[in-house]
Chain A
Amino acid sequence: MPVQGYNQTDALERLNERENSRPRIAVHKFSSCDGCQLAFINAGEALLDLAQQVDIVHFAEAGPMDPEAAVDIAFVEGSISTPDEALRIGQVRANSRFLVSLGACATSGGLQALRNFNADGARGWTSATYAQPEFIDSLDTATPVAEHVRVDLELWGCPVNARQVFQAIRQLLFGVAPVVDRDKLCVECKRQQHVCVLVAKGEPCMGPVTHTGCGALCPAFGRDCYACFGPAENPNTAALARRFEGLGLLPEAVARRFHFINSHAPAFRTEWLAWKERS
């Protein structure tokens, strides 16, 4: 979540005050699977068109390398999970007029935030995974970028898709504030006229509390949404959790529905902790 009292308009003004009409952009990677950067690389021709309209100065996976360059828009993939990353994100912020968190890891901590709040701590997991834990330099938590520096736009999703990313860039190129639809997935699912997997099949679908944007993929495949796009705005997680219990899920299973891809997002974390207590 952006910091309270934060005004995106200021960042947008800084972006629009740039001297060069061609914006300089960077794509930075932190702890992640690289899947969100693929929204650029998998865009094919659209990526080549983008390269005509902006200067891509840093994007290690695609080739351009200049991690310390000052840029107009920085896209950040990945969560902050090592001491080095905690320092590096500060530099990225200082070098950028407008900073976008790209995907679940950068926006909520992502899947690896499952290490947070575990009883053994990351150190216990390190000793269980590596023979020489003293050589593993890792923080106890994997946290979203916004817990370290100001974020000007959050793009949710595990992974984000090309439509979200290119729509945001297009709006920024026009100098306007990007509009992100934070409605519930159910709205999109109904629009596509899928049979409701929660009502018709009794599956514990996370659609009623999940941020729209994926295109209602899981219900289209007849399966329950697992909330890879994180919480929607004003999600009624408590009511949905009670509904899951009504479907026959044990408290431990209800807890796991919220303790998954976006476990560190406040709305999901609260619900997980409440049901974990009961299990």
Chain B
Amino acid sequence: MAGVEGTLVSEQREIRIEVPVLARVEGEGALELTASEGRIETLRLRIFEPPRYFEKFLEGREPQEVLDVVARICGICPVAYQMTAVQALEQAFGMRASPYVTQLRRLMYCGEWLQSHALHIHLLALPDFLGFENGIAMAGKHPGAVRRGLRLQRLGNDLIRLFGGRSVHPVGMRVGGFHRAPDAERAAAVLEELKSVLPDAEALVAFTASLDLPDDEQDFVSVALRNENEYAMYSGRIVSDHGLDLPVEDYLERFQESHVAHSTALYAHLDGKPYLVGPLARLNLNHDRLSPPVKSALEATGLRLPSRNMFHSVIARAVEIHEVVLEAIRLLEAYRPEDPAHVPMTPRAGVGCGATEAPRGLLWHRYQVDAAGKVLTAQIVPPTAQNQARIEDDLKCSLEAFGLHNDDDALRLRGEMVVRNYDPCISCATHFLKVRVERR
């Protein structure tokens, strides 16, 4: 090493880069690493999101209150939290949602994937790959791309609104179904709009695959739900690419949550090791379940699966946008309003678990309830907590491969790009990055 960095290494000086918040990530975190002779010795991603004690204030709450509380864990993915909690409560009560309700829930969930992925690709990730500070700055030069993203995102929100009145903290869900089925005319209007954006959704797959993405192969374990009949989103068994296959009730037998001193997020491990959840893990495990048009669009890109390059996550999100737009069209074409859109709730004492695929990955809930259905204890494992250990592993590999001779600002930008691949929602676990490098 030569120049400034070489001097720093030989003098064993400590370098600090202070960036108070990491932009374009939903939370707040900092990265600390110590390096010696081009290798990273220790690396810690510190999470600053203040604790909000959700699991504690769920105690003593009725089922409807639970659905209204869990939505507020994350403003970006409230539907995921409601979908997971409602299934856990229904399991505890020994209830089964009707096929009609299950289809409608899947349709509503398509809306959340669509809005969240469209926001991530266009406003959060694309500026990295096209060389802009942020999406607002990018809109001047690439108005078409930004407007396409905003339109897809708005449609996702419209779909959620059909079922919940608003896209952030929707009000329509209840144990047993929905408070009211969407109005047929409004559903038909959303269907027409979805049909009109289908070409955009399909083109997005090729567009993301044409981006100049870094080549960064790594070894990791992918974990996702798998469903026999569909691309898993609302339900399935928990599987990995290393042979794991278990029902959601058995999650704690193989997955452990632990608290590390440098974070307010809990870290989850599979058999003691880091693992990946989210769009790329899902695509790796479930690409055979994609609908035929999406398979063709994916094949045309030449992307080989399973992929070991986390930068392919942006393509995975585009593929999933294409899939959910098609799926939402299919479900809306078959849609007929029913009244009531729910079965009566039959509470009883017990324990129930639920798992769904939030836009950011596997989300798992467990509730112990009393005879009236009120919560005695609650446990929630969000996707970002599950990715935390994997993100640290990835940063270690990526930054070493990138080269520690790069200056701290370059390391920070690269680190942020790596972390953004996971689209971490730091409110639910962990927003962003101060870098502190100690070179010895």
Chain B interface bracket (under 10, 10 to 19, 20 to 34, 35 or more): 35 or more
Cβ of A161 and Cβ of B166 under 8 Å apart? Answer: yes
Cβ of B72 and Cβ of A223 under 8 Å apart? no
B171 touches which one: A29, A31, A136, A218 (CB < 8 A)? A218
The A interface is mostly helix, strand or loop, or mixed, namely loop
- Evaluate contact between A62 and B134: CB separation under 8 angstroms: yes
Closest to A115 in B: B53
B264: contacting residue among A136, A221, A226, CB under 8 A? A136
Q: Which of B139, B169, B432 contacts A48 (CB 8 A)?
A: B139
Q: Which of B152-179 contact A (CB under 8 A)?
A: 153-154, 157, 165-169, 171-172, 174, 179
A81, B169: Cβ atoms closer than 8 Å: no
Q: Which residues in window 120-156 of B have CB below 8 A to A?
A: 123-124, 127, 133-137, 139, 146-147, 150-151, 153-154
Q: Is B65 positioned at the interface, with any CB of A under 8 Å from its CB?
A: yes
B179 contacts which chain A residues (CB < 8 A)?
Answer: 221-223
- What's the nearest-Cβ distance from chain A to residue B30, in Å? 13
Interface residues of B in 67-82 (CB under 8 A from A): 68-69, 72-76, 78
Contact of B53 among A51, A125, A214, A256 (CB under 8 A): A125
Tell me the residues in window 21-51 of chain A with beta carbons closer than 8 Å to chain B beta carbons. 29-38, 41-42, 44-45, 47-48, 51
Is the C-beta of A208 less than 8 angstroms from some C-beta in chain B? no
Contact between B262 and A35 (Cβ–Cβ < 8 Å)? Answer: no
B174 to chain A, nearest CB (A): 8
Query: Which residues of A sit under 8 angstroms from B262, Cβ to Cβ?
Result: 135
Contact check, B23 vs A65: say whether CB atoms are below 8 A apart.
Answer: yes
Residue B414 lies at the interface, judged by CB distance under 8 Å to chain A: no
Instruction: Encode A60-91 as 1/0 by CB contact (under 8 A) with B.
Output: 11111101000000000000011001000000
Contact of B23 among A45, A64, A82, A228 (CB under 8 A): A64
Q: Is B3 an interface residue (CB 8 A)?
A: no
- B165: A residues at CB distance < 8 A: 214-215, 217-218, 220-221
Give which listed residue, B19, B20, B24, B427, contacts A63 with CB less than 8 A: B24
- Residues of A contacting B78 in the complex (Cβ-Cβ under 8 angstroms): 33, 35
A129 within 8 A of partner (CB):
yes
A33-B75, A215-B165 given as contacts; is B53 within 8 A of A65 (CB)? no
A38-B53 in contact given A67-B21, A221-B172 (Cβ < 8 Å): no
Contact indicator A61/B431 (Cβ below 8 Å): yes
Residues of A within 8 A of B (CB): 29-38, 41-42, 44-45, 47-48, 51, 56, 60-65, 67, 81-82, 85, 111-112, 114-115, 118, 122, 125-126, 128-132, 135-136, 138, 142, 158-159, 161, 214-215, 217-218, 220-223, 226, 228, 256, 260-261
Query: 5 closest pairs, A vs B, by CB?
Result: A63-B134, A35-B75, A217-B165, A131-B259, A221-B179
In the complex, besides A81-B52, A142-B52, A218-B171, 6 extra interface pairs with C-beta distance below 8 angstroms are A42-B154, A56-B136, A61-B25, A63-B134, A111-B57, A220-B180
